[in-house]
Structure 1
Amino acid sequence: MVSRNLMILCCLVVAVVAKPTYTDKYDNIDLEEFKENKRLLLAYVDCILDKGKCTAEGKALKDNLLDATETGCEKCTEKQKEGSYEMIEHLIKNEPEIWNELCAKYDPTGKWRKEYEEKAKAKGIKIPQKISTK
C-alpha cells in the first residue's frame, strides 16, 4: 500500500514539474538551407510578419514566436533553443534588416533583443546599428 501511494505521488510530482514544450515535429529542419537560400528565408519571414502565405512549418513558428520571445523560449526543446540562437545570430550578422523587422513586431520594447544581441556579441558577432524603419 505504501509503495503504491509513493508511486502515485511520484507520478503527480512528475506531472506537475514537467513543463509543456512546443511540438518537436519540426526539430530536424535543416537550418543551413535557410541561411544559404535567401528566397526560402524570406518566404518564412514574410509568413511570420503577415506579409505572405505560410507553410505548415511557418504557421507553427508564427503561432509560437511571440510566446517563445516573451518567455525566453522556456517551452522550447533543447534543439529548438539551439536552432533559435543559431538563426538569431545569423540574422544579426547577415540580415540586420530582417532582424530589425522581427524585433519591431515581436519585441517592441527591446527587452529580448538586448539579451540576444549580448549573447551574439559575446561570441564575437558585431552588432550593426539598428536601422530606422521610418
Structure 2
Amino acid sequence: MITKSKCDESYTNKYDGVDLAEILASERLLNGYVSCLLGAGPCTPDGNELKSEYSSDGSYKREYLTRLHPEQEKSTNKSKEYEENLKDKLIE
C-alpha cells in the first residue's frame, strides 16, 4: 500500500489562476472583497467562496489558508507569490 505522508501534501492550487495583483492594485476590487468578508457589502461568487473559508470569529476553516504564516512550507510557488503580494499590500 502506498500512502502519501502529511509532510508531502501541498496546498491547493485552486486559486493559482486568480490575478491577485489586479485585485490589490484596484481599490474598487479590494474594497469589494474586504466589504464582502466583513459582511458590509455584497459578495461576488469568488467573494462568497473566500468568505466561506473563514469561520464567524475570523479564524480559518481550512488548513491551506493558514499558508499566510511563513513557517508553512506546503504552499505552491504561485500561492507563495500571492501571499507576499497580499502581505505587502495590507502593510501599506
TM bucket normalised to smaller:
0.5 to 0.7
1:17-65 deviations in whole A, cap 9, x for unaligned? 343634x232122223223221111000111111122222222322335
1:74-113 deviations in whole A, cap 9, x for unaligned? 46433223202211211211xxxxxxxxxxxxxxxxxxxx
Alignment of 1:1-134 (within 5 A): 8=1, 11-12=2-3, 14=4, 16-17=5-6, 18-19=8-9, 21-22=11-12, 24-64=13-53, 66-67=59-60, 68-69=65-66, 72=69, 74=72, 76-93=75-92
Looking at structure 1, the residues matched to 79 and 49 of structure 2 have their Cα atoms a distance apart, in angstroms, of 12
Gap regions ≥5 residues in structure 2 = none
Gap regions ≥5 residues in structure 1 = 1-7, 94-134
- Work out which of the two has the higher radius of gyration on C-alpha atoms and give 1 or 2: 1
TM value normalised by structure 2: 0.63
TM value normalised by structure 1: 0.47
Structure richer in helix, relative to its length:
1
Aligned residue-pair number: 81
